[in-house]
Structure 1
Amino acid sequence: MKHWSKTLLAVAAAAFLIAPQARAQDYPSRSLTLVVPFAAAGISDNQSRLLARKLADILGQPVVVENRPGASGMIGAEAVAHAKPDGYTMLYGTHGTQAANLALFDNVRIDPPKDLRAVHSLFRQSTVLVANAATPYRSLDDLVQAARQRPGSVNYASAGSGTQTHLAAAKLQSAAGISMTHVPYKGAGPALSDVLAGNVEIMFSYPESVSQHVAAGKLRALAVAGTSRLDAMPTVPTMAEAGYPDAALEGWSGVFVPAGTPDAVVARLADAIGQVTRAQDVVAAMAAISSFPMGLSDREFQRFAEDEVPRWKAVVRQSGARLE
């Protein structure tokens, strides 16, 4: 009897170990969900839908984009962190959901580095500093000198407190030792409209949003917040080239799954996402909006995301931003 008990226990243990491997080999066997923690029709949503279409072709299963906006992305991030760790629920994560929000909110209910497993990076994207063409600022140095001479006199718009458009300005103020007046809006659209109207002097915005206005002479591009020049604005210097290397700030995105997702499933997803981000048509489409693949997979991307937490926390502290 004891012999049979030991045999049954051994069989049960083997089955327990083999079952996840078998499930991973069959993965995916049904549709997947990609949670986008932001509203539809934005940059994140557009990138996610392109990713979903391409992933579906590679994985052989539908990939459904589900927008779950709110709390600067934390509502969607929390939903994925609490989902079943089977690889069928993914998060379009960003520097905000994985790092900056930990300093922006007092009541974050998840710990992204522990509760979400990095799968593969997507794209890095920088903003560009633009000024209304009627202002006297023809270079970044013109702006900095004016802000130094009259602290608080230069006003800048943003898409809202804690957004990349706000934090990029905070980074510049810290690097240049200047003080400007923040005018936050509920979204990038209203902010840009007021800069174009001359109600606010400057703002950091995304290249695809401002390039047409720069070309039309309505806005003047002063500097790129990223580490490299943009194909869409090849004559616009980076912050480093303009003399303020510590003002550089790039946002980023990537795919995450709930912690505890089997390694084999993560590897399958990582391979598929890597194929998507390397595809020539995807690279070209993203370059057109000044987004560039990062090329980090699995553990390498996990380390990157974890290292970003203290960096973005410092930027948030510099900005003084807090969200309820």
Structure 2
Amino acid sequence: MKRRTLFTGALGWAALGSWAHAASGESYPQRHITLVVPFGTGNIADNQGRMIARHLEKVLGQAVVVENKPGAGGSIGTEFVARAPANGYVLLYGTHGTQAANTALYPASRINPSSDLRAVHSLFRQSTVIVTPANRPWRSVRELLEAARKEPGRLTYSSSGVGTQTHLAGAKFQDATKVSLTHVPYNSQASITDLLAGNVDLSFNYAETVVQHIESGKLRALAINGKTRMAVLPGVPTVGEEGYPGAAVEGWSGVFAPRGTPDAIVALLAREIGKATEAPEAKAAMARLGSYPMGLSDVAFQSFVESEVPRWRDIVKSAGAEGR
């Protein structure tokens, strides 16, 4: 692949090609790039991270290695990237959790994602699906709320852990509908296992996890807990359509770099990541999981992230999960 170099100064940004210059003046990248995914393997975050890594490898001509660093709701991997050299060789797959909700969940964190990391480009927005075991009597949000109001706190909902989107979506739903549900946190797969067994009443879960069980008839979808319907579940209404637009909560993801990463490198990465999220095959694959590209780059994405911090702080507070 022929390398093209970015010339700054009098030529301005119009000279941006396929390669950028680091502060040292060397073309970027000269070696492999590490994309840190601050969660375990085999989940939607890991899948999205690897998809972006494959695209960047093709266009940058260097290996892009995905390194999973799970722990503390993503805080461990996030801190690792925040403390890495600001040269474009260590990047973060970040989410609404690592960049916004964790500021309330882990106030004693040694970093501030808003000031220690720089947004490069958004990836995808993601909402959850409100599902219930097929043997439960309610077939709509209205019937669910009627049951919940008759016996406050009796109905239970599972999540993959305190502070996760599957937990906070339930908290937001309760706040918007003025009902009381009992949260039952699990770790990873156990939450869906107990739901399928009928040991809990509800879950606010990802389409990736529940669609196969909805199609098999083991689970019933009541609503999409986001602003738009999902292509993979076209007949399932949103909570807004059911009369509770305030219950909608969407998670999101994006790529971040250590604060101080050169503008030229960020611009190059942002352009290529944007192309990756809008590629027809990527959009189709993500739509099957209920995810859709956001299309925000650099400054616009940074502004969006900063606006999300107080919103997620309020959601965490309503869940009673702040200050862990």
- Give the TM-score normalised by the residue count of structure 2: 0.92
Answer whether contact 1:161 1:322 (CA < 8 A) is retained. Answer: no
Relative to structure 1, is the Cα distance of residues 218 and 22 closer, same or farther in structure 2, using a 3 angstrom cutoff? Answer: closer
Alignment match, 1:175: 176
CA distance in 2, matches of 1:106, 1:309: 12
CA distance in 2, matches of 1:111, 1:186: 26
Alignment match, 2:302: 302
Alignment match, 2:67: 66
Relative to structure 1, is the Cα distance of residues 24 and 316 closer, same or farther in structure 2, using a 3 angstrom cutoff? Answer: farther
CA distance in 2, matches of 1:197, 1:97: 31
Relative to structure 1, is the Cα distance of residues 28 and 122 closer, same or farther in structure 2, using a 3 angstrom cutoff? Answer: same
Superposed CA deviations along residues 7-43 of structure 1, whole A, max 9, x for unmatched, are xxxxxxxxxxxxx766466111111000000011111
CA distance in 1, matches of 2:128, 2:235: 15
Give the count of matched residue pairs: 304
Alignment match, 1:155: 156
Runs of 5+ unmatched residues, structure 1: 1-19
Alignment match, 2:92: 91
- The SS at the match of 1:130 is strand
- The SS at the match of 2:238 is coil
Alignment match, 2:79: 78
CA distance in 2, matches of 1:264, 1:300: 16
Alignment match, 2:131: 130
Q: Mapping of 1:281-320 within 5 angstroms?
A: 281-320=281-320
CA distance in 1, matches of 2:180, 2:56: 45
Answer whether contact 1:59 1:272 (CA < 8 A) is retained. Answer: no
Question: Between Structure 1 and Structure 2, which shows a larger proportion of helix residues?
Answer: 1
Shift of 1:106: 3.1
Paired amino acid for 2:226: G
| Greater mean deviation of Cα atoms: 79-88 or 100-109 | 100-109
Answer whether contact 2:121 2:274 (CA < 8 A) is retained. Answer: yes
RMSD across aligned positions (CA): 1.2
Q: Does 1:218 align with 2:218?
A: yes
Structure of higher CA gyration radius: 1
- Give the TM-score normalised by the residue count of structure 1: 0.92
Runs of 5+ unmatched residues, structure 2: 1-20
- The SS at the match of 1:200 is coil
Answer whether contact 1:24 1:262 (CA < 8 A) is retained. Answer: no
- The SS at the match of 1:295 is coil
Q: Does 1:191 align with 2:191?
A: yes
Alignment match, 1:15: none
Paired amino acid for 1:59: L
Shift of 1:287: 1.2
CA distance in 2, matches of 1:311, 1:249: 10
